[in-house]
Amino acid sequence: MKARDLTELALRNLREALLRNSLTTLGVAVGVASLVGMVSLGVGLQELASQRLMRSGLFDAVFVTSPRGFGGPGGGPARASQIKDAKILDEDARQQLAKIPNVIEVYPQIRFAAQVKFGNNSTNTSVLGLPASSRSSGALEGMKGQFFSSAEAKEALLQADFAKELAAPASPDSLIGKELTLRYAERISAPSGDSAAMLGALMGGLAGGISVAPREQTFRIVGIIESDPSAGIGGFGGGRVFVPLATAEGLHTAQPSDLQALMSNEPSKPTYLALTVRARSPKDVAAIEADIKKMGYLAFSLLDAAKGLRTVFTVFDLLLGLFGSLALTVASLGIINTLVMAILERRREIGVLKALGATDADVKRLFFAEAAAMGLAGGLFGLAGGWLIGRALTLGTTIYLKSQDLPSIKISSIPWWLALGAILFAVLVSLAAGLYPASRAAKLNPVEALRYE
Amino acid sequence: MVNTSPFLSAEGVSREFRLGESVVRAVDGVSLSVEAGEFIALLGSSGSGKSTLLNLLAGLDLPTSGAIRVAGKDLAALSSPELARYRRETAAMVFQSFNLLPRMTLEENVELPLRLAEVDRGERGKRVSESLERVGLAARRQHRPSELSGGEQQRGAIARALVNRPSILFADEPTGNLDSKNGENILQLLVDIQKSLGMTIVMVTHERPLAERFANRFVFLSDGKLAGGGAAQ
């Protein structure tokens, strides 16, 4: 029998037992809807999470620490053998790292405690040096005012909450364009000498090897940002005042790494606790990380964490899909039941078809076509239902987020592969459900089938 | 091509059924031959094995032993798809209970064998009309079987049997569910078809007077065995 005739006959048979076949199809639709709804939720949440994380601008960065250091982010306890041939993160290392292909910037973490004076207000807070590449990281979304005019400008960005505190009772926006004064400790290098003596001197009162002097510097407030662009990196973040990195370096503030430098053979040469290497794009990160490790440093990137996150979401998807599949399994039992009942009811019809010259394959295909048609219809309706479930979830979330003064998000997403996969899956499950009934119908003896009343 | 062998022949055909421990021999060593264009009636009381024999000849069932040859082909040697093809193209069947599919209109019922035989759509309409006109039901083509009388249903079934132009028609008690007047009309229709199309017809019936009036020849079956026969009229 030709495919068109087969389809016509199958649809006609389905139309005849309309109620029962509709209910069976509805069962498939409910199964597919729950499957699509659940998986779309998983996909949506995954998209949401990775989108938010990508926006943070941390996925194109590799954090480098020396195994000799105090153990920077991701460093962990270093083994003795590593320590032996490990290199110190100094200026040479910084130059070397910058030469790795696809590296656009290498910068240290410059962070220092300072007293902020603004008008009559005076508070202590931490100041962070912000590299030029932060501007393009997307982390500054929602910034009021502007980014630094140049890499060495005496300009500052304020964290929103801090700005609110500083400006109170006036609006924080009024701070933009005004000046504030930072009071900080400057490190003054001493000529090289016996390091043990210097350490003693340091402990004794910061004299000898390193001396520290208070300094004051005026900065113009150019902008206010919602979140810390470097938040989330181990040991980083928490800054409330941001100045250009080069400016911060030029201040020669006392850094924790000074202690490390003090214990090395050349205390006068500045070393870094950690360096951040920014890659051209997140896809270059893995290669850069490998190169850095080859150079003998510890490297860590958030891409490692993102990979773990993806695993979590994949398992999450799988579990959600599993629950959805359960519903579909129940639905496929419905298909089996409907088709087996149809065989009992249509024994005589099968006998007549065979007497008229239908082959076993014709009968089998007819039942398969009916199962597939129910699967396809169920899949389509189910997809629509799943989409509605996703919309309802998004709508509910949006209403809730609005009540919490948060921007709305899309928590459910149906990519094309899910839509296509759901329909295909519904048809395949239906065909599998039709397997037994169809082969039973095909094997029916025509003489016995015709005798059946 | 000159073919001296009969159009249909059965040689020592037996069909056994297993009922638990015992074996029932429904057809027991029947040998029979039918010439092309002949109208033969198989007579016998119920349980005599005449319907079982008809099913064997029509290719709905296979004999336990013996050979059945139709148009030079041994049915027992055919594969299942080949046997289906035999039922589709060479043989056609009419039943006591008409067996029109209740969900389809008369027209669609008649079209069914053409669908199975994958006849072109353009050709189908023509053949369906032709077939329905032959049995005088052209005006009722849109009706469902339940809207037709018994006689009309049987004529519809005959139209369905003829639509794919078979060379032999098997009829199993075609008048069994009809009153005598309608029964006579059906038999008259079969004779007309036999004469105008040169159709070979094998009919099972238990009504000897009708068989004698319309068939060319009749054979008796009793307990699965041939028990004589004769020429009619």
pLDDT for position A245: 84
Task: For residue A333, give every residue at least 6 positions away whose Cβ sits within 8 Å of its Cβ, in sequence order, or none.
Answer: A433
Same domain? A314 vs A386: yes
Nearest residue of A to residue B79, measured between CA atoms: A359
DSSP code, position B231? E
B89 Cβ under 8 Å from any chain A Cβ: yes
pTM: 0.66
Contact list in B for residue A2 (CB cut-off 8 A) is: 115, 118
Dump pLDDT digits (tens) for A145-181: 888 888 888 888 888 888 888 887 788 888 888 888 8
CA angle (A230, A52, A287) in 5-degree steps: 65
Q: Could you give the 3-state DSSP secondary structure of residue A209?
A: coil
pLDDT for position A376: 92
B16, B50, B54, B87, best to mutate vs chain A, most A CBs in 10 Å: B87
Select from A210, A243, A271 the last residue of a domain. Answer: A271
Contact A356, A59 (CB under 8 A): no
Same domain? A385 vs A259: no
Q: Examine the pLDDT at A329 and tell me if it is beyond 50.
A: yes
Spatial CA neighbour of A102 closest among A301, A307, A286:
A286
A103, part of any domain:
no
Do B101 and A349 lie within an 8 Å CB cutoff?
yes
A99, part of any domain:
no
| Backbone dihedral angles phi then psi of residue B128, each to the nearest 5 degrees | -65, -45
Same domain? A257 vs A118: yes
Same domain? A442 vs A313: yes
* Total domain count, chain A: 2
Residue scoring higher pLDDT (A357 or B3): A357
Over residues A391-413, mean pLDDT: 83
Q: Name the least confident of A59-73, A141-155, A168-182, B197-211.
A: A59-73
Same domain? A254 vs A316: no
Q: How many helices (H) and strands (E) in chain B?
A: 7, 10
Same domain? A120 vs A258: yes
Q: Examine the pLDDT at A242 and tell me if it is beyond 90.
A: no
pLDDT for position A232: 42
Same domain? A126 vs A29: no
Q: How many CB pairs under 8 A join A and B?
A: 67
Task: For residue A321, give every residue at least 6 positions away whose Cβ sits within 8 Å of its Cβ, in sequence order, or none.
Answer: A35, A38, A39, A42
Work out the mean pLDDT of chain A and round it to a whole number: 78
A375, part of any domain:
yes
Buried b (16+ CB within 10 A) or exposed e, A59-68: bbbbbbbbbb
Tell me how close the Cα of B160 comes to any Cα of chain A, in angstroms: 9
Contact A2, B118 (CB under 8 A): yes
Select from A271, A299, A328 the last residue of a domain. Answer: A271
Dump pLDDT digits (tens) for B131-187: 999 999 999 999 999 999 999 999 999 999 999 999 999 999 999 999 999 999 999
Torsion over CA of B205, B216, B210 and B227, rounded to 10 degrees? Answer: -50
Dump pLDDT digits (tens) for A250-277: 888 877 666 666 665 555 566 777 788 8
CA B89 – CA B120 distance, rounded (Å): 15
Q: Name the least confident of A60-64, A134-138, A207-211, A416-420.
A: A207-211
Same domain? A149 vs A208: yes
Contact A272, A261 (CB under 8 A): no
Place of tokens 């849109």: B142
Same domain? A265 vs A121: yes
Spatial CA neighbour of B113 closest among B189, B169, B54:
B169
| ipTM entry | 0.93
CA A424 – CA A380 distance, rounded (Å): 10
Nearest residue of A to residue B81, measured between CA atoms: A359
Q: Examine the pLDDT at A202 and tell me if it is beyond 60.
A: no
B123 Cβ under 8 Å from any chain A Cβ: no
Do A358 and B117 lie within an 8 Å CB cutoff?
no
Q: Could you give the 3-state DSSP secondary structure of residue A95?
A: helix
B104 Cβ under 8 Å from any chain A Cβ: yes
Over residues A366-376, mean pLDDT: 90
Q: Half-sphere exposure of residue B102, counting CA atoms within 13 Å on the CB side?
A: 7
Residue scoring higher pLDDT (A6 or A88): A6
Work out the mean pLDDT of chain B and round it to a whole number: 91
Tell me how close the Cα of A339 comes to any Cα of chain B, in angstroms: 17
Q: What is the residue extent of each domain of chain B? A: 100-165
Tell me how close the Cα of A22 comes to any Cα of chain B, in angstroms: 18
pLDDT for position A348: 87
Torsion over CA of A73, A78, A83 and A86, rounded to 10 degrees? Answer: -40
Please tell me which of the candidates B55, B81, B116 has its beta carbon nearest to residue A356: B116
What is the extent of the structural domain holding A436? 3-54+309-451
Q: Examine the pLDDT at B3 and tell me if it is beyond 60.
A: no
Same domain? A260 vs A181: yes
| Backbone dihedral angles phi then psi of residue A274, each to the nearest 5 degrees | -155, 150
